[in-house]
Chains A and B, each alone.
Chain A
Amino acid sequence: MKALLIGEYRQGKLLESSYELKAFADRLGAESAMVLVGSAAEMPKFGGRLYLADVASYGEYNPDLHKKLVLEAIARENPDYIVFVHSSYGWDLAPRVAAALKAGQVSEVVGVLDGKFEVTCCNAKLRRSVAPKSARCVITIQAGAFTLQGEPQGVPQLETLEVSDTSGKVEFVGYEAAEQKEVDLTRAEVIVSAGRGVGKKENVPVIAELARALGGELGASRPVVDAGWAPHSHQVGTTGQTVSPKLYVACGISGAIQHLAGMKKADFIVAINKDKDAPIGEIADVLVVADVMQFVPALTARFAR
């Protein structure tokens, strides 16, 4: 069994998530080779064949071209599985490769069971086991779901990857940097975060009050930030900050995967939610089943006494 791993390179750097692909291949028990549109100056620590295309020629984001490069590597390597990280690069490129091969794709895999792939659905309230029915299969793995045992190591055997047809339908213009962070949540010992369950903007200060009483910072889930209830600098999750406080209190946060990815490394997690089945309960050390706007002020009052 052979897996072709599609690494990621962005803003001049190899992304660490590329090593999660190797962890997935190990979990499958598959032999692996890697494809990278990157630079020989920064090679992954990987002890297999590395099909390297020069980023100077093919760009960091050029999905039509990258598809051709991956297809060329598939023709040379003949893999059973073609594996991407389920990221802004992977979910964009994987279906293009799958369509070209007419191969089945299983998206955002979190586990492997008896040759089938486990994925989450319905806001992680359910899991689905998916069986590929095509000769080759394209997989995207959930970021953070597979981690290497120990440090990545090895020196790749370099294979040059090129394609002659360099036409593409999209033109990459450039990056726009993330907003400056006014609040550095990564250093906070205590974070109290507001989710959609707080109900309205006027209720967010009630959550901030608890944060203050605990000597911590206010965090927020993405819907709260997008609704304009809190500034982006407070956002915890994939597109915000990744935090690891001693105590994380999630108030009215259901627990979307993107949020969990940003806070699951907290030492102790308390969730306050009226929905006992909310996915945040999966990772919380304590789940208080209560109305947030009733419970949080009462909790704050206990500290004021």
Chain B
Amino acid sequence: MKILVCIKQVPDMESRFRLNGEGTWYDEADLAFRMNEYDEYAVEQAVRLKEQLGGEPEITVVSIGPDRVVEAVKKALAMGADRAVHIKDDEYYRKDPWQISSALAAHAASRHYDLVFTGMQSQDRGSAQVGVTVAELLGFACATTLVGFAYEGGTITVKRELEGGSKGIVKLRLPAVVTCQLGLNTPRYPTLPNIMKAKKKEIVVQPISELLKEAELTGTAGMYPPAKRGGGIVIEGDVNDQLDRLLGILKEKTTVLRAA
């Protein structure tokens, strides 16, 4: 079995974001980057499947972006992926989901993958399109938003997370693409020996121009912080002063305070 895991490296969402010079994306300076959270579930599930099948499947991890994405790729290798492809693109943020999907599908087209794992969406752009579009371009079956995964004899049975806490159970035959959601598993921390082993694993670098032949179908016209909602009070400073102010406001504006 050949498995592909598509991962993205994104900024820590706790960061303070500033805009780039053209006002179309965030400025990368001073940001700490890490593997997209949903993609960590994808890597973990792929490695668990490899373990279930006695180590037989070969796991390739692929990521599109500038040189910094190699850090996320190395983490995936240390978690248990076998080899990696870095599709190098310094202008990744100018690509729309259609182009990203097209480049990934072009990579996958001749390589006969049986199963593709990816996150349900990226934490920065959050289009939730790429996994499904890759499946459509490859003609693979696809299920999204997985919180449960089981493989047996060429068929996968998955649990999709639905609104309100219920789940949908779906069976798919390989080849398939699945997109992973929070709750699917708890990603492992790479151990030091595995981090050392990962250093010897192959990372093939390929410029995106070799794979991408498609023009964009949507474009970013601008980026900006959300308009602040009026009326919200911000309380800063010394804890005791903060408490006095908060309790004063609660007494005035709400009916729920019984004491204090």
The reply to whether chain A is a binding partner of chain B is yes
Residues of chain A touching chain B, judged by Cβ–Cβ distance below 8 Å, are 10-11, 61, 63-64, 86-88, 91-92, 94-96, 98-100, 102-108, 116, 119-134, 137, 143, 169-179, 189-190, 214-216, 222-223, 226, 232, 235, 238-240, 246-247, 254, 267-268, 270, 275-277, 279, 281-290, 294-295, 298-299, 302-303, 305
B residues lining the A interface (CB < 8 Å): 11, 13-14, 16-17, 19, 26, 96-98, 101, 120-121, 123-129, 132-133, 136-137, 140-145, 157, 159-173, 176, 182-183, 215-226, 228-229, 231-236, 239-240, 242-243, 246-247, 249-250, 253-260
B163 interface neighbour in A87, A116, A267, A286, Cβ under 8 Å: A87
> Which residue from chain A places its CB closest to the CB of B258 in the assembled complex?
A215
By a CB distance below 8 angstroms, the chain B residues around A94 are 129
CB distance from A153 to the nearest CB of B (A): 25
Closest Cβ neighbor of A101 among chain B residues: B217
- In the complex, 18 of the A-B residue pairs with CB atoms within 8 angstroms, ordered by the A residue number, are A91-B120, A91-B145, A92-B145, A95-B132, A122-B17, A123-B123, A125-B226, A126-B26, A130-B219, A169-B140, A175-B166, A175-B168, A176-B168, A282-B229, A298-B240, A298-B243, A299-B243, A302-B243
B157 CB to nearest chain A CB (Å): 7
B123, B145, B221: the one within 8 Å of A116 (CB) = B221
Which of B132, B169, B231, B260 is close to A92, meaning CB atoms less than 8 Å apart? B132
**B226, A127: Cβ atoms closer than 8 Å:** yes
- Cβ A169 vs Cβ B163 within 8 A: no
In the bound complex, do residue A173 and residue B169 qualify as a contact, i.e. CB atoms below 8 Å apart?
yes
Main secondary structure of the interface of A (DSSP, over half): mixed
Cβ–Cβ contact A88 & B162, under 8 A: yes
Task: List the A side residues contacting B136 at CB < 8 Å.
Answer: 95-96, 99-100
Report, nearest first, the 10 A-B pairs whose CB atoms are least far apart. Answer: A178-B165, A104-B217, A169-B141, A99-B136, A95-B132, A104-B218, A173-B169, A176-B167, A129-B221, A107-B127
Contact A103 B217 (CB under 8 A): yes
Contacts A122-B123, A169-B173, A178-B166 given: A286-B246 contact, CB under 8 Å?
A: yes
Cα-based distance from A302 to B239 in the complex (angstroms): 12
Docked complex Cα distance between A183 and B216 (Å)? 48
Tell me which residues across on chain B come within 8 A of A290, comparing CB atoms. Answer: 239, 242
Task: With CB as the reference atom, state the residue of chain B lying closest to A279.
Answer: B226
B225 touches A133 (CB 8 A): no
The answer to whether B165 touches A88 (Cβ under 8 A) is: no
Q: Which residues of B contact A127 (CB under 8 A)?
A: 223-226
**Shortest distance between the CB of A285 and any CB in chain B (Å):** 6
Q: Point out the residue from A108, A170, A281, A298 that lies within 8 Å of B143, measured CB to CB.
A: A170
Contacts of B172 in A (CB 8 A): 169-171
A232/B132 contact (C-beta < 8 A), A122-B17, A132-B217, A286-B235 known? no
B residues in contact with A270, CB < 8 Å: 246, 250
Report the separation of the CA atoms of residues A10 and B144 in the bound assembly, to the nearest whole angstrom. Answer: 17
